[in-house]
Amino acid sequence: MTLRYEGFEVATAANGIEALEAAEESRPDVILLDIMLPDIDGHEVLRRLSASGNRAPILFLTAKDAPEDRVRGLTLGADDYISKPFSVAELIARVHVALRRTSRARRPERLQFADLQLDEETFEVSRAGIPISLTATEYKLLRYLMLNPRRVLSKQQILDYVWDYDFEGDANVVETYISYLRKKIDRFAPPLIQTVRGFGYCLRVPQEAPG
């Protein structure tokens, strides 16, 4: 791929599900996404990436060049829209622009909500300055909640992010792991992991309205 010759490290995916898995595993700095994919389309991939807390800029690179296609892609949250055929020089220039924007607005590697902290570099979690030991699944669940503070996350959204999109096990595993997290995170006051009955779960201080 031309981008490799320009010094970029490139990960590729053959379909939408592979793209979602690659984005979670490699945490890319920028994502080039086609709309016409063999399983789920690029619009659905974009929606799921956004729901999972992805912060990497997404550039649609596609043969669908009608004005309504561009409008839909940008409205859904794409950072740019490039139609095929395209100039390689222009593609590289647009990738650099997206990376510059990201570097100026890059979120910190340490997530914080109230007195709860999560360090994405060291995978350390603490509350009120006291270290908390989490399993890999507990960490992933807490990270998702902290990426979406005050936002109600449905059980299905949590399943998709923490247990992957093709999970076929018991959906009650979400309740089980929320319970595990509460025993570790909410042994401090005030409790931060809230149940919004009939909708899902939310990280917020009691008395705050969920987003």
Task: Quote the pLDDT of residue 109.
Answer: 74
Q: Of 25-34, 160-169, 193-202, where does mean pLDDT reach its minimum? A: 160-169
> Structure tokens of 197?
């009955």
Instruction: Reply yes or no on whether the pLDDT at 1 is more than 60.
Output: no
Instruction: Reply yes or no on whether the pLDDT at 102 is more than 80.
Output: no
Q: In this predicted model, what pLDDT tens digit does every residue of 57-71 receive, in sequence order?
A: 999 988 888 888 888
Task: Quote the pLDDT of residue 113.
Answer: 95
3-class secondary structure, 148: coil
Task: Quote the pLDDT of residue 99.
Answer: 84
192 class by beta-carbon count within 10 Å (0-12 exposed, 13-18 middle, 19+ buried)? buried
Q: In this predicted model, what pLDDT tens digit does every residue of 150-196 receive, in sequence order?
A: 999 999 888 888 886 556 667 789 999 999 999 999 999 999 999 99
Average pLDDT of 109-119?
Answer: 92
> Structure tokens of 30?
């920028």
**Residue extents of the structural domains in the chain:** 2-105, 110-203
> Structure tokens of 195?
């149940």
> What CATH number has the domain spanning 2-105?
3.40.50.2300
Residue holding tokens 């997290």? 181
Instruction: Reply yes or no on whether the pLDDT at 56 is more than 80.
Output: yes
Task: Quote the pLDDT of residue 45.
Answer: 93
Q: 68-99 burial by CB neighbour count: b if 16+ within 10 A, else e?
A: ebbebbeeeebbbbbeeeeeeeebeebbeebe
> What CATH number has the domain spanning 110-203?
1.10.10.10
Q: Of 101, 96, 85, 197, which Cα lies nearest the Cα of 152?
A: 197
Q: Is-above-0.75 flag for pTM?
A: no
Assess contact for 15 and 39: CB atoms under 8 A. Answer: yes
Average pLDDT of 103-107?
Answer: 57
Task: Quote the pLDDT of residue 128.
Answer: 93
Q: Of 13-27, 70-84, 163-177, where does mean pLDDT reach its minimum? A: 163-177
Residue type (1 letter), 91: L
Task: Quote the pLDDT of residue 80.
Answer: 92
CA 187, 115, 28, 15 dihedral sign is: positive
Q: What is the mean pLDDT of the chain?
A: 87
H/E element, 70: helix 67-76
